[in-house]
């Protein structure tokens, strides 16, 4: 056998093993009512935003053609970053092509060998990879456990110290205790890094997230925001002090060595920021509908984790059961996808339901009834 044949045989065996565990994944075309995407405010197909993007693309072309530090920078990006900084109440902001790229490369630009990172054990994969790439010493604390974080911070350790959390957890939908985290970090000389991906556009007077809503902008070192969730587009940005953004511009490999975001992304983010100011009722509607769904699911005795907002996890246990319930819901016309290990811990496979502003209470009541029915049918 050739090396290629050996590789194919090994990969095939690995895929078969994963399939036997109910963990084999592949992309699936959208079909049925969307209860899975993060397009919470229904901006991804908003005609007003689409028209703005088309206009900008016709004016300026499609792509950047270079990295930002060569010829990929432009007035549109410069204006957008100034607007993003103001949106977050910070001095400056830096735009990235994706949230993954931001987290995976900003953390290594801030800390390195000899430094210490305190990371929530359930952090998103992009944060985990950023921590690993940094080569700093990593201390994990149980998800949301403020007492464990306090004990970890109290241990001696030299170098720069950085606490890394999501303001709203991507799979559980619960909020980080940001006030307590800031208090502990200040008491122990640590910086605070907050990923606001799932809170951006949904909390705070300006809409920048839970850090703003809690009045902690001056106490959090930097925040990371994505455009691919409630803002309905793509890309990401880091917001913080001017010196921090200048440092990242010079030291963050994910910024320096990548092609600048295309015209459509810049235009879509700019338009989405304006659009959310035009439709504030959508945010209130999302929160009200999420409460309706949680109440309906709770009547069936389902395990909903600690969620309190638009991300509603229905924990079903085994991967096989989660997939079975998801498939049954698809036959009912509901697209509610199963999330399985390694994305979540073994034994906590779930449906991850995202409530959007265009849904309505009767639909969510029907959804809850079908979930309860299929969960009972598949119970061990």
Active-site residue set = 38, 124, 166, 170, 195, 198, 229
> Residue 71 gets which letter from DSSP?
I
- Least Cα distance to 231 among 269, 187, 281 occurs for 269
Q: Tell me the C-alpha distance between 330 and 327, whole Å.
A: 5
Q: Are 67 and 258 in contact (CB under 8 A)?
A: yes
Going by C-beta distance under 8 Å and a sequence separation of 6 or more, which residues neighbour residue 239?
Answer: 84, 85, 88, 90, 92, 93, 208, 222, 223, 224, 225
Using only C-alpha atoms, the chain has a radius of gyration, in whole angstroms, of: 22
Phi-psi group of 165: left, alpha or beta (phi > 0 → left; psi -120 to 50 → alpha; rest → beta): beta
> Could you give the CA distance from residue 43 to residue 296 in angstroms, rounded to a whole number?
27
User: E-assigned strands of the chain?
Assistant: 33-34, 92-96, 116-120, 137-141, 161-166, 191-195, 222-226, 236-240, 311-317, 334-335, 338-339, 349-354
């Amino acid at each position: 056998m050739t090396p290629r044949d050996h590789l194919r045989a090994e990969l095939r065996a690995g895929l078969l093993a994963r399939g036997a565990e109910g963990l084999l994944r592949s992309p699936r075309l959208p079909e049925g009512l969307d209860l899975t995407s993060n397009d919470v405010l229904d901006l991804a197909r908003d005609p007003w935003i689409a028209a703005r993007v088309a206009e900008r693309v016709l004016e300026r072309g499609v792509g950047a053609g270079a990295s930002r530090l060569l010829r990929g920078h432009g007035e549109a990006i410069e204006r957008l970053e100034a607007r993003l900084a103001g949106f977050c109440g910070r001095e400056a902001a830096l735009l990235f092509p994706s949230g993954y790229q931001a987290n995976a490369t900003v953390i290594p630009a801030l800390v390195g060998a000899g430094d210490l990172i305190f990371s929530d054990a359930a952090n998103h994969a992009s944060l985990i990879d950023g921590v690993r790439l940094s080569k700093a010493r990593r201390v994990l604390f149980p998800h949301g456990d403020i007492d464990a974080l306090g004990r970890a911070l109290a241990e001696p350790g030299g170098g720069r110290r950085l606490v890394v959390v999501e303001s709203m957890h991507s799979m559980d939908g619960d909020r980080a205790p940001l006030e307590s985290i800031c208090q502990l970090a200040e008491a122990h000389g640590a910086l605070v890094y907050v990923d606001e991906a799932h809170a951006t556009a949904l909390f705070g007077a300006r809409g920048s997230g839970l850090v703003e809503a809690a009045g902690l902008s001056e106490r959090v070192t930097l925040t990371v925001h994505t455009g691919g969730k409630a803002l309905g587009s793509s890309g990401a940005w880091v917001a913080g002090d001017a010196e921090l953004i200048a440092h990242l511009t010079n030291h963050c490999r994910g910024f320096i060595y990548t092609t600048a975001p295309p015209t459509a992304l810049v235009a879509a983010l700019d338009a989405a920021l304006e659009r959310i100011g035009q439709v504030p009722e959508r945010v209130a509607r999302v929160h009200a509908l999420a409460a309706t769904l949680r109440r309906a699911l709770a009547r069936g005795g389902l395990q909903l984790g600690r969620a309190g907002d638009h991300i509603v996890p229905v924990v079903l246990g085994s991967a096989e059961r989660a997939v079975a319930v998801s498939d049954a819901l698809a036959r009912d016309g509901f697209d509610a996808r199963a999330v399985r290990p390694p994305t979540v811990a073994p034994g906590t496979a779930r449906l991850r339901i995202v409530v959007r502003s265009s849904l309505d209470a009767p639909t969510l009541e029907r959804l809850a009834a079908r979930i309860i029915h299929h969960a009972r049918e598949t119970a061990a």
